[in-house]
Structure 1
Amino acid sequence: MSVADTGFSILSEDFGAAPHRYFAHLRERAPVHHEPAIDSYFLSRHEDVKRVLTDHDAFTTETLQVRAAPVMRGPVLAQMTGAEHAVKRRIVVRAFTGPALADQIRTVQATAAELMAPLLARGRMDLVNDFGKPFAIQVTLALLGLDRRDRHKVSAWHSGVAEFVTSLTLTPERRRHCMDCAEQLEAYLLPVIEQRRRDPGDDLISKLCTAEFDGVAMSDRDVTALIINVLVAAAEPADKTLALLFKHLIDHPEQLAQVRRDPDLLAAAIAETLRYTPPVQLIPRQAEEDSTFAGTTVPAGATVFCMVGAANRDPDAFTAPDTFDIHRPDLGTARSFTAAAQHLSFGAGLHQCVGTAFARAEIETVAAMLLPVLDQVRYSPGFRYQEAGLYTRGPLSLALDFTPVH
C-alpha cells in the first residue's frame, strides 16, 4: 500500500497554525504520512507511536546524531544504550528524585516567589514571558549549579540550541546562528567543568564531573553534552506546560473552580494538560528495518516522527479525546507520571523522560503558589491567543488580569 495523499503538508502554515484540526484526518486517512521535502514519515495513531517508542531494536535514536549531537556538543542520553545508558541515566535521575528533589522544590518555591512578587501588585502579567520563561531558566540553572547572573546569556544560547533540535527545516543562516550559540555555550561551560572537577559541590554538574563509567571519569565532551541535554530538556517544556495548564483552566471555569476548592485535583489537571496539549509534539526515531503500519511500509533508514499530540487524542486510547477533562477515568493521575502512563507526553520505553517526577513536582508546586493569588484571573482585554511550534509547541504569550495582591 502506498502512502496516502493527505492533500496538505505538515510543514504548511495551515497545519502549523492549528495542528489539532488535522489529527483525526491523519489518524483515519493517513496514519503514515510522508513529507517529501524532508523525506520523513509521520505516525499519528496511539498504537503505532507506542510501538515505535518501545521497540528499540527496530526504531533507534540514531537520527539524534544529526538532530541533536551537533549543538549538544556530544552524545545525549537518548543516543546511548546498554551499560553506558544505564549508568549515566542513573546519575541524572538521582538529581531529580529522592532527597535531591526536595532540595529542588525549595529552589522552585524561592524562584517563583521572587518572580511573582513584583507582578502580583500590578494585577496583570504575561504568564509566558513575564514569569514562565525566566522561571524555567532560573530553576534549571540552579539545578545545574550555574550562576543565575548569567541567565540572560545562557537563555539566549539555549534558545539557539533548542531551535536547532526542534526545527524540521533550517535556513543556512539560522543553522549558523544555532551552531554559534552552541559553541558559545560550550565555551562558557568548559571552565565551569574544570572548576567542578577541582572543587565539586552538590549540584548536577559536580555529580557528572565526579562520576565514572567503567572506572573512567567522563570526558569534558561527555559532561558538556549531558549538561546541555538537561538544560534543554528541563527548561524547554516547563513554561509551556504551566501556561497551557492555566489556559485550559481559564477556558473551563467550572474545572478551575473545582481545582481551587480541592487542591488534590491539581495533579490531575496537569496530567490532562500534558495529554491534551503536550509541549513536546514530535519524537524522532530511525527505522532500522522495513516496518509496516496500517498496510504502509516505512523503509529501513527512514526518519520516523512520532506525533505525540495526535496519539494523545486517539479515540482508541481515550474517550472523548478532544475534550479537556480533569476527571477523565482513562488517564489515571498516579500513573500519568510513571512508565505506565497511557498518554505519551513523556515518551515511552527505554528513553522515557528522566525528569518526569521533577516535571510534576515543579509545575504542581508553582501552580499551587499561583492559583490562590491569581484571584478572578482572566485574559487581558484585547488579548489574542496564539501558539507556535511543530516539534515543541506552546503559547507565544498568555496575558492575564487578576485582582492585585498588596
Structure 2
Amino acid sequence: MPVVHPHVSVLSEDFAADPYRHFARLREQSPVHYEPAIDSYFLSRYEDVRRVLTDHEAFTTETLQVRAEPVMRGPVLAQMTGAEHTAKRKIVVQGFTGRALQDQIRAIRAGAAELMAPFLARGRMDLVNDFGKPLAVLVTLDVLGLERRDWQQVAAWHSGVAEFITSLTLTPERRRDCLECAEQLEAYLLPVIERRRRDPGDDLISKLCTAEFDGIAMSDRDVTALIINVLAAATEPADKTLALLFRHLIEHPEQMAQVRRDPELLTAAIAETLRHTPPVQLIPRQAEGDAVFVGTAVPAGATVFCMIGAANRDPEAFTAPDAFDIHRPDLGTARSFTAAAQHLSFGAGLHQCVGAAFARAEIETVAAMLLPLLDRVRYSPGFQYRESGLYTRGPVSLSLDFTPVR
C-alpha cells in the first residue's frame, strides 16, 4: 500500500503558498510521496528524479495523452520516440539556432526596447505584467511568424491551454473553458498553416509546413500540435525566469553589484536562478512496469511526478542548496543550458527542453538591456512578494522602482 505522509500534502494551500519549505521534509521523510486524491506519486530526491527523466523506456510520456494532447490538438514532441522524435525535434531546434537565433535576438532587443520605453521616465514598472508576460508572447509569435497585433488574443487562448496542462485538479467547468480556448486557437492557426503551405517564408511555421517525415509532409494536425507545443514551451518559462532573476539579485545586492561590474556573470546568475527557483516545478511520467524507489514500490501504470524544485535543492547534488550563489562551483555554468546540465530545470534525457539555448539567449539579451536602465532598482514601497503555481511557478507580480532615465 502507498504511504501517505501525514504532515505534507502537495495539493494543500500551505504547500502552494511556499513549496520550498516542504522540500527537505519530503526528501528525508517521504521521498516517494503518494497523493490519493489524484492517485499519483511525487519524487523529490535528485537521484530518483534523474533516473525517471533519463530512463524513457521504463518511465514514458504516455500520461501526456491525457494531460496535454487534448489542448495541443495532437501529439507533442515529448510523446514521440525513435526516428519520428529525432526528425521533428531537429526541425523545431533549427527554428531556434544558427542564423534564425541571431535574427530572433535582434527582434527581442527591438521588442524589449519598445515595451520598456513608456516606463523609463516613470521610474516604476511591474516586471511581470507590464513587461515579462507580453514580451514572452511577442517573442514567440515572432519565432512562429504570427501577427503581433493578435498577441493578446493568442495569450488568452494560451492561458487556457497552459491551465489544462498544469492543473492537477480541474473542475468540469474549467476543463470545458480550457478545451474551448484550444479549439479557438486551432481555428486561428489552420488558415495560417494553409497560407504557409502555399507561400512559405523563413518562420518556424513555414519550416514545419514544408518539412517531411519518411517522405510525407506533416498533417495540419501534426503542425498545429507542434505550434502550440512551441507556444507553451517558449512563453511559460521566459517571463517567470526573468522576474525571478531580478528578485534574487535585488535580495542579494552584493551579487547584483558583481553582475553589474562584470556582465559575464549574468549567465551564471540566470543558471543559478533556474536551479534555485525553476519555473517548471513538475514533470510527469508514467511507470511502464513496477518500480522501486528508496524501498517503496510504485506500480505499473502509475503517474509519477518529478519534483524539479526539490531535486534541484537536494544536498546530495548541490552544496548548501538553499542558498542563491552565482559563484556556485557545482553548478557548471558552461553546461547549464545543454544536455550535460547538472540542474534539472530543463528536464534531462531524450525529452530535455528543445528551447534551452533559446531561453538562455532571450533572458540574457533582455536582462543585459534592463540592468543598465534600471539603476538603483528595488521593490516599490508597499510591495509584497508572492508566487503562485504548483506545476509551473513564478511571481504574481514584481513592482519595481528605479532611477528614471532622462
Query: Does the pair score TM above 0.5?
Result: yes
Q: Do residues 202 (structure 1) and 197 (structure 2) align?
A: no
Q: Which residue of 2 aligns with 1:8?
A: 8
Matched, 1:296 2:308: no
Matched residue SS, 2:375 = coil
Encode CA deviations 1:299-349: one digit per residue, 9 max, x unaligned.
000000000000000000000000000000000110111111110000000
Q: In the TM superposition, what whole-angstrom CA distance separates every residue of 1:195-248 from its partner, at most 9, and x where no partner exists?
A: 000000000000000000000000000000000000000001110000000000
| 1:311 aligned partner | 311
1:370 corresponds to which residue?
370
For residue 166 of structure 1, what is the aligned residue in structure 2? 166
Shift of 1:7: 1.9
Where do 1:45-60 residues align within 5 Å? 45-60=45-60
- 2:99 is matched with which residue? 99
Aligned residue in 1 for 2:349: 349
Structure 1: distance between partners of 2:120 and 2:175: 39
Identity %: 82
What is the CA distance between 1:8 and its match in structure 2? 2.3
Q: Quick check: 1:177 aligned with 2:189?
A: no
The equivalent of 1:66 in structure 2 is: 66
For residues 103-252 of structure 1, the aligned pairs below 5 Å read 103-252=103-252
Q: Contact 1:4 / 1:33 at 8 angstroms: preserved in 2? A: yes
* Contact 1:71–1:182 (CA under 8 A) maintained in structure 2: yes
2:273 maps to 1:279: no
Quick one: which amino acid aligns to residue 275 of structure 1?
R
Would the alpha carbon gap of residues 360 and 6 (structure 1) be closer, same or farther in structure 2, given more than 3 Å must change? Answer: farther
- Aligned residue number for residue 41 of structure 2: 41
How far does residue 6 in structure 1 lie from its aligned partner after superposition? 4.1
Gaps of 5+ in 2: none
**Is the 2:2–2:34 Cα contact (8 Å) retained in structure 1?**
no
TM-score (normalizing by structure 2): 0.99
| Structure 2 counterpart of 1:161, one-letter code | V
Q: 1:278: Cα distance to partner?
A: 0.1
Structure 1 unaligned spans of 5+? none
> 3-state SS of the aligned residue for 2:33?
strand
1:88 is aligned to 2:88 = yes
Q: Could you tell me which amino acid in structure 2 is paired with residue 210 of structure 1?
A: T
Deviation at 1:3, TM superposition (A): 2.4
Alignment-mate amino acid for residue 117 of structure 2: A
Alpha-carbon offset, residue 121 of structure 1 = 1.0
Letter in 2 for 1:109: R
Superposition CA RMSD, Å: 0.7
Partner of 1:377, secondary structure, is: strand
**Distance in 2 (alpha carbons) for counterparts of 1:121 and 1:351:** 44
Structure 1 letter corresponding to 2:62: E
TM-score (norm 1): 0.99
CA distance in 1, matches of 2:4, 2:146: 49
Structure 1: distance between partners of 2:54 and 2:2: 25
Query: 1:100: how far off?
Result: 1.1
- Contact kept in structure 2, 1:6 and 1:30, CA below 8 Å: no
Following the alignment from structure 2 to structure 1, what is the Cα–Cα distance between the partners of residues 120 and 296? 54
Which 4+ residue blocks in structure 1 deviate beyond 3 angstroms? none
